[in-house]
Structure 1
Amino acid sequence: MSVTFEPFDSKGRLRHLLTLDGMPRDTLVALLDRAQALLDGDVRNERLAGIAICTLFFEPSTRTRLSFQRAAQRLGADVLGFDASTSSTTKGETALDTFRNIEAMGVRGFVVRHAADGAVAALARAAAPDVAVLNAGDGRTAHPTQGLLDMLTLRQAKGADFSGLRVAIVGDVKHSRVARSDLQALRTLGAGEIRVCGPERLLPDDGTLAGCEVGDDLDAALDGVDAVMMLRLQRERMEEGLVDSLEDYHRDFGLDARRLRRAAPDAVVLHPGPMNRGVEISDEVADGPQSLILQQVRNGVAVRMAVLETLLG
């Protein structure tokens, strides 16, 4: 399920953003630095004035799609929205034909979400030399801008030096493109300790968890950690029978206030959304003082501005 990362064009500029796997640390840090600078004051500019960007989403989305649209608007770009449910894909048109037709209209940037692993990389390979493709989530493979905004949120809370950071990633890692991008970014930034916890049937066996402490005891995984990254139970991607019941899942792997007390006193909680309240996370944690979930959403606009600027500016 790995994606070959082809980060730079012939002029040494980042051309596509398909994954964080293999991204040089300097490039990743530069994107985080630029996003923070945008948050600190350079919120609106016209760096992409006259450039057309299409949000090409073949899967539903709220946060990712709207924050990309908001980011593009703040950069002065012309934004075209694509809704698969009302497009010619319902008549049998392929994603590649859809992409090529929109590209022929003069669109230079594509933000693509697709259910199939590798689908976004396939469109990037077909793109014209002056066209940039950004992966907004493909199958179980990658969600690089979510990984970046999660790292920015952690950096704001815990500082830029990740070497002493203890992070627990909890839940349905097997079906999570977010978890894969977060793991790649945490390794690149040198996180001191990464713990992964979930039901054995929801943990991947493809090398994704190399170097992590892996287990199915949530209480042990939470002991003393500085950050807890909860994952959505992705029932739409999983086979029947991987979870006995939602009640059992919440009992064994749901984060509530009692369990959170096992973490460090100043531990923070992240979740990529959408949340299944009462399944992987309780209301008291999601809405509590240690939750950075809405901060993640705010950071998403700045991160996506930084990426769009870098690829298209």
Structure 2
Amino acid sequence: MKDLLSMSQLTNEMIYDLLDRTSRMKKGEIPSLKGMFAANLFLEPSTRTKQSFYVAEKRLQMEVLDVEAEQSSLLKGETLYDSVRTLEALGADVLTIRQSERGALDDIAAKTGASIINAGDGTGEHPTQSLLDLYTIYEEFGTFQGITVTIAGDIKHSRVARSNAYALKQLGAQVQFSAPDQWRETNGSYVSMDEAVENSDVVMLLRIQKERHEDESCTDSYLETYGLTKHRANLMKPGAIIMHPAPVNRGVEIDSVLVECERSRIFEQMNNGVYMRMAIIQTLMEGKYYENHKRIQMERGLCATV
């Protein structure tokens, strides 16, 4: 595998391999990618994802270039493809990109030799967030079979919900949703938050993405109607956990006191994200250089035949 653009690329075997690599790295088995070059191009705001990749790359001993959107030639009219090709020409082995157009990286990845990681493409997907979420769940329960996960909030606009729902179902978890009518997708099983807290092993809350909304009236009294209140948290199953990809709107989708409560794994998710992203980069670098080696060997074979 050269690129990571969508969770649909990954088989269960590939996901479990990444979970295993992440676990080993978290225990201190950290490989060195010294001499390799990583570039991070974030065209939408990001704190956790961008800095998580930066820390992951530095721990792998990579050289890192952070490209600020406001300082890039994209403001001068350069296309995203040309920006990527420029960074590749300068020596980038892997590029982590966040941008607003759903599916825009597919064509770019097919035309470049560098590995491309989708760090969020508008309302499309967010595969690295999904993988760190999967690791957090697997670390907690040791399985996905028989686990019920409720994804609650702004389902319609959430790339996190889209990636997680696909992967969790593929791995054997039961996935249900809770959301106001206007933030629902047409497919999926929906329940109220009162039902969700009583039958879920994982309550995964989502940020309300006001920047993608025309009507914000749904946020009025959202916590009491659709969010995780202290009362609802008290009704959760024994051993059930709370997750959130962050940033967290305290007092909106979750009561502020629950963000760091005993059930919460929100900050553990962030910690796990560094190790998962290290595992992803290592895997892609192995795949990239395996493909290059195979291509070179084939070319040499063809030359020898001639």
TM over 0.5, shorter chain: yes
- Name whichever of 84-93 and 196-205 sits farther off: 84-93
Aligned residue among 189, 194, 204 for 1:229: 204
82, 86, 99: which is aligned to 1:114? 99
Q: Who is 1:85 aligned against?
A: 70
SS at match of 1:167: strand
Paired with 2:8 and 2:92, the residues of 1 have a C-alpha distance of 27
1:50 equivalent in alignment to 2:35? yes
Kept in 2, the 8 Å contact 1:250–1:280? The answer is yes
For 1:121-136, list aligned pairs within 5 A: 121-128=106-113, 131-136=114-119
Deviation string 1:158-202 (CA, Å, 9 cap, x unpaired) is 11x2211111110001000001111112012111x2110001110
What's the secondary structure of 2:251's corresponding residue? coil
Aligned positions of 1:122-161 closer than 5 A: 122-128=107-113, 131-159=114-142, 161=143
1:303 and 2:276 are equivalent in the alignment: yes
2:159 is aligned with 1:220: no
Cross-structure match for 1:11: none
Name which of 148, 157, 180 aligns with 1:166: 148
Q: How far off is 1:245 after superposition?
A: 4.5
Q: Distance in 1 between matches of 2:181 and 2:110?
A: 36
Larger Rg: 2
Asked if 1:281 corresponds to 2:271, the answer is no
Q: Where does residue 8 of structure 1 map in the other structure? A: none
The CA distance in 1 between the partners of 2:240 and 2:110, in whole Å, is: 41
Shift of 1:204: 1.5
Partner of 1:269: 242
Give TM-score scaled by structure 2 length: 0.90
Any conservation in 2 of the 1:224–1:262 contact (CA below 8 Å)? no
CA-CA distance at 1:120 after TM superposition: 2.0
Distance (whole Å) between structure 2 residues aligned to residue 106 and residue 163 of structure 1 = 43
The whole-number CA distance in structure 2 between the counterparts of 1:148 and 1:26 is: 13
Rounded to whole Å, the distance in 2 between the matches of 1:276 and 1:230 is 10
Gaps of 5+ in 1: 1-13
Partners of 2:251 and 2:99 in 1: CA distance: 28
What is the letter of the counterpart of residue 105 of structure 2?
V
What residue identity is the alignment partner of 1:275? V
Structure 2 unmatched runs, 5+: 287-306
Please tell me the residue identity of whatever aligns with 1:194. V
The reply to whether residue 202 of structure 1 matches residue 183 of structure 2 is yes
Matching residue of 2:4: 17
2:86 alignment partner AA: N
Partner of 2:291: none
Partner of 2:296: none
Secondary structure, in 3 states, of the residue corresponding to 1:93?
coil
Please report how far the alpha carbon of residue 49 of structure 1 lies from its aligned counterpart in structure 2 after TM superposition: 1.1
Q: What is the rounded CA distance, in whole Å, between the counterparts of 1:60 and 1:90 in structure 2?
A: 16
How many correspondences in the alignment?
A: 286
Paired residue secondary structure (2:8): coil
Q: What displacement does 1:247 show?
A: 2.9
Q: CA deviation at 1:251?
A: 2.1
SS of residue matched to 1:280 = coil
Are positions 1:62 and 2:61 aligned together? no
How many angstroms does 1:119 deviate by?
Answer: 1.7
1:22 deviates by 4.5
Q: Distance in 2 between matches of 1:299 and 1:57?
A: 21
1:253 aligns with 2:226: yes
Distance in 2 of aligned mates of 1:123 and 1:22: 16
**Residues 61-114 of structure 1 deviation map (CA, whole Å, 9 limit, x = unaligned):** 111111111111111111110110121112221111111111111111010111
State the Cα RMSD in Å.
Answer: 1.3
Alpha-carbon shift at residue 265 of structure 1 (Å): 2.0
Deviation at 1:292, TM superposition (A): 0.3
Match of 1:290 among 263, 270, 282: 263
Give the alignment of 1:88-103 within 5 angstroms.
Answer: 88-103=73-88
Q: Distance in 2 between matches of 1:181 and 1:36?
A: 21
Determine the C-alpha separation between the residues in 1 that align with 2:77 and 2:9. Answer: 35
Contact 1:113–1:120 (CA under 8 A) maintained in structure 2: no
Which aligned segments of 4 or more residues in structure 1 are displaced greater than 4 angstroms? none
Q: Is 1:36 matched with 2:36? A: no
Paired residue type of 1:200: D
Alignment pair present for 1:312 and 2:299: no
